[in-house]
Amino acid sequence: MTDLLRLSGVHTHIGRYHILQGIDLAVPQGQVTMLLGRNGAGKTTTLRTIMGLWQASKGEITLAGERIESLATPDIARRGVGYVPESMAVFSDLTVKENLVLAARDGPLDDTQLDWIFGFFPALRRFWLSRAGSLSGGQKQMLSIARAIVEPRKLLLVDEPTKGLAPAIVMALIECLKEIKRKGATILLVEQNFFAARELGDNVLVMDNGTIVHRGEMAALAADVSLQERLLGLSLGAHQ
Amino acid sequence: MMILSGDPPRSRILTLVLVVIILALAATPFLFPGAKALNVAAKICVFAALVASYDLLLGYTGSVSFAHTMFYGIGSYAIAIALYGMGPNWAAVATGIVVGLPLAALLALAIGLFSLRVAAIFFAMITLAVASAFQVLASQLSWLTGGEDGRSFQLPELLRPGTVLIPKSLFGFEINGRILTFYLVFAVSALMILALLRVVNSPFGRVLQAIRENRFRAEALGFRTVFHLTYANCLAALVAASAGMLNALWLRYAGPDTSLSFSIMLDILLMVVIGGMGTIYGALIGATIFILAQNYLQSLMGVASNAAGEAGLPLLPGLLHPDRWLLWLGLLFIASVYFFPTGVVGRLRKASGDKSAGSSH
C-alpha cells in the first residue's frame, strides 16, 4: 500500500506559538486515516498546514510523491485535495446550487455524481435554489461535504464533520463517508466522536501537544480500552 | 430577463421605483425644462454607473478602495487634456479614450497585484496613498492638467448646444447638441450598469461573492483569489474611468474639484450604502436620492421655512432655514442607515421576500 500523503518533521508556528512540533505521518492510498486527540492538540492546524492555509515553518509534505509544503492553497486544491473545514463552512449568500457549481471549478456539474450525492442528502435537492445561509446546521454540513466530493478528489481532509449535529444526521454522515470510502477515496478525518471514528477508520493517529503520540490500526485501538483511556481519556462504552 | 442577466429587482415596489427613475431620466429634456434639471439628470446617470462600479468592489468583493475617484479623474482628465490639446474633434475624443482606459486599467492592475494578496486593510491604505499622490500630481503638473483651475475645452461640433439637430418647428421640441450629449451620457451609463449586472451574475461574480464571505474557503476550493480580486479591481476602474469621461464631456471641464476630490469618494460611499451594497440596482437608487437631495433640498427647505414663518410657528423657520440644509442632509443619511441598514434595495427585497415566503428564490 503506497502512501498518498506524507508529512515528515513538520513544524508550524502561528504568531509566537509553536503549534506543530515535528509531525510525522502517512496517509495510505484508499484508506481512511483518523486523526484523534483532545482539543488544542493541533489536529485542525495539521489539516490547515497540509492545505497551505498555514505555512509549515519546517519539514516536508509530499502528495503523491510531489513536495507541496511551499505551494499556495489554490495550487494544492488544484492537485486534487478537497478540504471540509470545521463548522459548516458554506457560502451562505449563495444558493446550494451555486455552492456546488463553485466547487466544480473547472466545468459543469456531473449529473450522476449529483444524483449520488442527493441519494445521501435529499435535503440538498429540496433546497437546490435556496440560499445556503437559510439551511439548518446539519444541511449546511451536508452541503459542505457535498462540495468536497462533487468533483473526484485524490485526498479529502475532513475536520470534525459530526460536531454539533443531531445523532440521526451523524448516522447519515457516517453512511455517506463510508460510501465515499468504498468508492476508493483517501481520507484524513479529524474526529472527536469516537463512535464515528471506530465506524470509519482504517488507521488511527493520536495527537497531543503538537506531536503524534500513537499510530496504529483503528480496530486495535477500538479493542483496547486501557489504551483509549491513556491516549484519549475516554472509554468507548461511555461514548456509544 | 436576458438584459438583466437573470437578476431581476425581485420586488414589485423596487421594480416600479426603478422604472419611474429610468423613465424620468430618459424624458428629462422634455418633462423638466431648464438647464438645472438636465444637469441633475446627467449627474445621476454618471454617478449611477460610477457607484455601480464601486459596488462591484465593495459590495461583491468586500474590498474597500479609496482610489475610485482617481480612476474617475483619469477618465475626466484624459478627455479634457485630449480635447484641450488637439482641439474639438472626434479624433481627440478617441485619443482620450484610447489613452485613458488602458492607463486606468494598468494602474488598477498594479495596485491590485501589489496590495490585494495581503489583508484588506492594506489595500484600503494603499489606495488611499496612491489616490492622494495622484491628486497632488494632478494639481502640480499644471502645464498638462491646468493645476487647480483644471481644463475647460470645446466639444466636437455635433455635441455643442448651438448645433440644432431637429428644429422646434417640427415636434415642438428643439433637439440640439446638448440633448444629444445627454442621451450619450444616459445610454453609455445604462450600458455600463447592464454590463456590471452581467459580470456579477456570471460564474466570476459568484467567485467574488465567495471571496467576500470567506477568502480562505475560496482558496481551498482552488481559486486563485488574487487574480479574481485584481480582475474585479480593473473592471471597476475601467467603468469609473468611463464615467469620468462622460462627466468631462457633460461639463466640458475637468478639474480637481469635479473629478478627483475626496468629497466625491465620500459621496460614492454614501450612495452605495443608501442604495444597498451588493445589488448593483442600489447604485441607481442611491445616486438618485443623494443627488436630488444635494440639489433640491436647499430650495425645498426655503419653501418650508417661508411657509412656517408665515404660519407664525416658533423655532421652525430657523431650523428649516436654507442655510441649514447640510444639517438636514446629514440627518437624512443617519436616518437612512438606521432604518435601511441593508440599503433601500435590501429593505425592499426583504419586504417582498417576507410576503411571498421564499418564493422569490
Q: Are the Cβ atoms of A74 and B222 closer than 8 angstroms?
A: yes
In a domain, B361, yes or no: no
Measured between beta carbons, the chain B residues lying within 8 angstroms of A72 are 219, 224
In a domain, B211, yes or no: yes
Q: How far apart are the first and last CA of chain B?
A: 15
Looking at per-residue confidence, does B75 or A121 come out higher? B75
In a domain, B262, yes or no: yes
Domain that holds residue B321: 12-352
- What percent of chain A is modeled with pLDDT above 70? 96
Looking at per-residue confidence, does A176 or A48 come out higher? A48
Predicted local confidence at residue B357, as pLDDT: 39
In this predicted structure, which of B30-39, B114-123, B281-290, B293-302 has the lowest mean pLDDT?
Answer: B114-123
Please say if the pLDDT value at position A18 is more than 70: yes
Q: Are the Cβ atoms of B214 and A89 closer than 8 angstroms?
A: yes
Measured between beta carbons, the chain B residues lying within 8 angstroms of A147 are 221
Q: Is the dihedral of CA A12, A17, A22, A28 positive or negative?
A: negative
Looking at per-residue confidence, does A217 or A229 come out higher? A217
Q: In this structure, what CATH number is given to the domain that contains residue B95?
A: 1.10.3470
Q: Can you tell me the mean pLDDT for B147-170? A: 90
Q: In this structure, what CATH number is given to the domain that contains residue A181?
A: 3.40.50.300
Looking at per-residue confidence, does A176 or B235 come out higher? B235
Q: Are the Cβ atoms of B223 and A98 closer than 8 angstroms?
A: no
Q: Can you tell me the mean pLDDT for B67-90? A: 96
Number of domains, chain A: 1
ipTM of the complex: 0.86
Number of domains, chain B: 1
Please say if the pLDDT value at position A240 is more than 50: no
Please say if the pLDDT value at position B359 is more than 60: no
CB contact at 8 A, A203 and A13: no
Residue from B7, B10, B212, B221 whose CB has the most chain A CBs within 10 Å, to mutate: B221
Q: Are the Cβ atoms of B214 and A93 closer than 8 angstroms?
A: no
Please say if the pLDDT value at position A48 is more than 90: yes
CB contact at 8 A, B18 and B218: no
Give A70-109 pLDDT, tens digit per residue: 999 999 999 999 999 887 779 998 999 999 999 887 678 8
pTM: 0.89
Q: Residue A203: what are its φ and ψ, rounded to 5°?
A: -120, 165
CB contact at 8 A, B284 and B21: yes
Domain that holds residue A52: 3-239
H helices of chain B, in order, are 12-31, 35-58, 68-86, 90-115, 120-140, 142-145, 168-171, 177-200, 203-213, 215-220, 225-251, 256-259, 262-275, 281-310, 316-319, 325-339, 343-355
> Which candidate from B209, B213, B220 shows the least CB-CB separation from A73?
B220
**pLDDT confidence of B202, banded at 50, 70, 90?**
very high
Measured between beta carbons, the chain A residues lying within 8 angstroms of B221 are 77, 102-103, 105, 147
Predicted local confidence at residue B360, as pLDDT: 36
Please say if the pLDDT value at position B356 is more than 70: no
